[in-house]
Every structure is written in structure tokens, then in C-alpha cells.
Amino acid sequence: MELKKLANIITAYGIDVLLIFFGLFTLLPFNFRGAMVIVFLLFSIIAGYGGENKFVLKPFIINSLLFLSYLLSLLYTSNLKSGLGLLTTDLSLIVIPLSFFLISRNRKISYKLLLNSQFFPISFFCSCVFLACFIIFKATFFFKFETNKVLINPFLKELDTNLFWFSDHPIYLSLAISISLVISLFLINNNNNKFKFLIYSGAIIQLIAIIIMSRKGVIIALIIAFLITLLYKYKLSLKTMFYSLFFFGIIAGIIFAFSLDTIKRFEEVFDNKSYGEVQEFSSTSIRYNIYKCDFALIKENLLFGYGIGDVKETLRGCYKNKSEVLYNGNYNSHNQYLGILLISGVSGLFIFMYSIVLNFKLFHRRKDYMASSVLVLFLLVMLFENILDRQNGVILFSLFINYFAFMNHSLPTPEKKIFDE
């Protein structure tokens, strides 16, 4: 009885603290982020202890399918040490769904989460505004007055190694801010004029930061997700969409004018030289030749892939025959879908897409446009990056998808039964 009373006290206040920390995810020290996932699991075990609701197993299984396919690939991988290391990185793909599954048994906590459904998105947006401010502040140290340009390459290296206590690869900084920008579209729509000004201001600050970081794939994904959201949620006319893009273009143009390296990164896409031999200082050329290796290897082992432990060395073998630049760079597949094909083949990709379709189905039935838009953004970024190969990308993806799935599945409406159909 005493144990249950202690559990009630912990869960009464613990969920608020956890939501605050997850909302501040981008501002937490790198090592603390993984620890938060473990704390979340421990909290969910306590919350689920003696809960009144029945366990609903299917949502947990569906959102853990990719991890399970990776786990099965250990059966035919030769490098178990490497495979187990990558599985450790991807643990959030099963730990976070499991945590929400356990929490769903606690009626009080579930109700509290539903009652404060906007708390996590709002706190995440605010933390990303602060993150963007720090990024812009760092950029000023790499601005050269004699040329009126920001030195992008040294600046990006600084973000990865010396951005105060939350240094991270620019891809994942850009991804977090992109998610926040998508969320801002819905926050603007749901708040009064007094808060709209603050949200608009925060969104502009984040937009400046993401363009300065000049991650082509993330910027393209954000634009497409933005347009899809305008059509899907707001059903805006082409004229309104044109004005929105025009506004975005003006801001981008102003920032590009102060960043020569950023302009060059986009010019590479239209340069024929990028699609021949590997050009050491051309990210487009490097990516193009990585994809050539990806497709060549996928053809050789299409059904089940190479196993999670062997993909890295298999790619390096192809890179060694193609270019010293690729071999020394030790690159991954630079496309999440191709990465899944390399690890677990068509079967693994089918399993992953099956889980995505079911989540889309749930979000669509509930008319949760924010969840749908964030999921679209993730899927688009996956065309350019392996966001599930690093801890921060895995946590962001699993946290948002499972949070939205939990919120929609817990609502007392017919849509909550969608996973049982």
C-alpha cells in the first residue's frame, strides 16, 4: 500500500517535470538527453504500477517495429559488436514507445497529458527560439566585415564542437528548429494577437538560424512540409501560398547575401561537375557518389539487407573502390530509407513504412494536422539524412511520433480504436 502511495506522489509531479525537460530537449547537455529517456522509462514503470486502464499493446508494437527489424538482422550480421553498438544508439525506438505504453495504464496521468496537450509543443518551440538565438550569436563571430559574409564551414564546425553546452551536428540543430517552425504554424492559429506577435518573432529568429546553417536537405524538406501544411490544414489558395513563399524568399535572399558559402552549396546542385568524379569540397558530389554505392549494394542483397552490424564496413568497401575522399570520410548512406534497405532489406523498409502509414491514418482520422505535418517533415528529411543513426535524431523522432500517437489514441473518440482495426 505504501509503495502505491509513493508511486502516486511521484507520478503526480513527475510528468510535469518530464514534459519540461523534454520540451527543453535542444538546450540540454548531450549526455543528459539519453539519460532523460531512461528516467522516462523508470517513471512510466512507476506510473503504470497498479494503473486502472487496460494495457493496449498494438500501438507499442507498431511504433517499435523498426527496432525489432534491426534486432532480427543481428541473426545474419557478422559484426555483432558493431551491431549491438548501433542498437544501443537506437534504443529510444523501443524505450519511448514502451514508456508511453506503460503510462497509458495510468488514467490520471493520461488525463493530465490530454488536458495539457499543448504544453510540450509550446515549450519545445520556446527552447528552439533560445537555441536559434545562440546560433545567430555564434554566427556573428564568423562574420567578416571586409566581405560582408559569414564563413560557413568554420561556423558549422564551431556548432558541432563549441556551441556552449549543447554542441551538436548542424543537421540535428536544423532538424529541431524545423520541427519548431512547423509547430509555430499551429501555435499562431491557436493564440490571440498578443501571443501571435511573439510567435511570429520567434519563428523569424529560427528561420534566420536555419538558413545560416545552410543544410540544403533540411531547408528543402521544411519548404515542402510548409506547403503541404498550408494545403492540408488551411486549404489556402495558390495566391496566398505564393505570398508566403515570396516572404520566405526575401528573408532567405537577405541572409544568403551575407553568406557566400551558403550560395555555393546550392549552386553545386546545378553544376554538372557534381555528378561525375568525387569533388572533395562539394557536398552534392559526395552525396551523389554515396548514393551510387547505396544502390549498387542494395541490388546485391535486396530482400534482407546486410544486417545492422555489417552495413558500415560494406559501404566502406564500396567507397574504397570509388574514392579516397569517401573512404576517409566514413560516410553513412545519407538517406534513411536506403539505410534501412541496407540493414534489413525490403522486408525492413516495408515494416517501417507500415508503421508510418498506421500513424498517418490515426492522425488523419483525428484531424491532428500538427502531428501529420511533423511526421511529413521527418519523412522528407529522411530522404537526405540518416537521422535514426544518431542519438539525437532517434530521440526526436521517437519522442514526437509516440507523443502524438499517445495523445490521439488516448482521446475518448472512435478514432482511438484505429490500431485495433
Q: What are the DSSP calls for 60-82, one per residue?
A: HHHTTHHHHHHHHGGGG-S-HHH
Compute the distance between CA of residue 259 and CA of residue 147 in angstroms, rounded to an integer: 10
Residues 213/156, Cβ–Cβ less than 8 Å: yes
The pLDDT score that the predictor gives to residue 249 is 67
Q: CB neighbours (10 Å) of residue 145?
A: 6
Q: Any residues with CB less than 8 A from the CB of 236 and at least 6 apart, and which? A: 230, 244
How far apart CA 298 and CA 294 sit, in angstroms, is 6
Predicted local confidence at residue 66, as pLDDT: 96
Domain count, the chain: 1
Confidence at residue 171, expressed as pLDDT on a 0 to 100 scale: 93
Spatial distance between the Cα atoms of 172 and 389, rounded to a whole number of angstroms:
11
pLDDT at 191: 62
Q: What is the tens place of the pLDDT at every residue in 142-169?
A: 887 776 677 888 899 999 998 888 889 9
Helical pair 2-23 and 30-48, crossing angle rounded to 10 deg:
150
Could you tell me the CA-to-CA distances from 313 to 2, 66, 305, 316 in Å, in that order?
53, 21, 13, 5
What distance in Å separates the CA atoms of residue 143 and residue 149, rounded to the nearest whole number? Answer: 6
Residue 119 belongs to what domain range? 2-420
Amino acid of residue 79: N
Computed over its alpha carbons, how large is the radius of gyration of the chain?
22
Determine whether 269 is exposed, middle or buried from the number of CB atoms within 10 Å of its CB (0-12, 13-18, 19+): middle
The pLDDT value recorded for residue 285 is: 83
Of 300, 301, 291, the residue nearest 322 (C-alpha): 291
What DSSP letter does each residue of 262-295 carry, written as one string?
HHHHHHGGG-GGGGSSPPTT-HHHHHHHHHHHHH
* pTM for the full predicted model: 0.89
DSSP string, 332-369: --SSHHHHHHHHHHHHHHHHHHHHHHHHHHHHHHTT-H
Instruction: Give which of 384, 399, 289, 381 is closest to 335, Cα–Cα.
Output: 384
Q: How many helices (H) and strands (E) does the chain have?
A: 20, 2
pLDDT beneath 50: ranges in the chain: 1, 414-421
* pLDDT, position 113: 81
Residue by residue, DSSP assigns 215-239 as: -HHHHHHHHHHHHHHIIIII---HH
CA distance linking residue 376 with residue 198, whole number of Å: 26
pLDDT tens digits, 60-75: 999 999 999 999 999 9
Nearest to 401 by CA among 44, 138, 164, 65: 65
Please give the Cα distance from 134 to 128 (Å, whole number): 10
Q: What is the pLDDT of residue 248?
A: 65
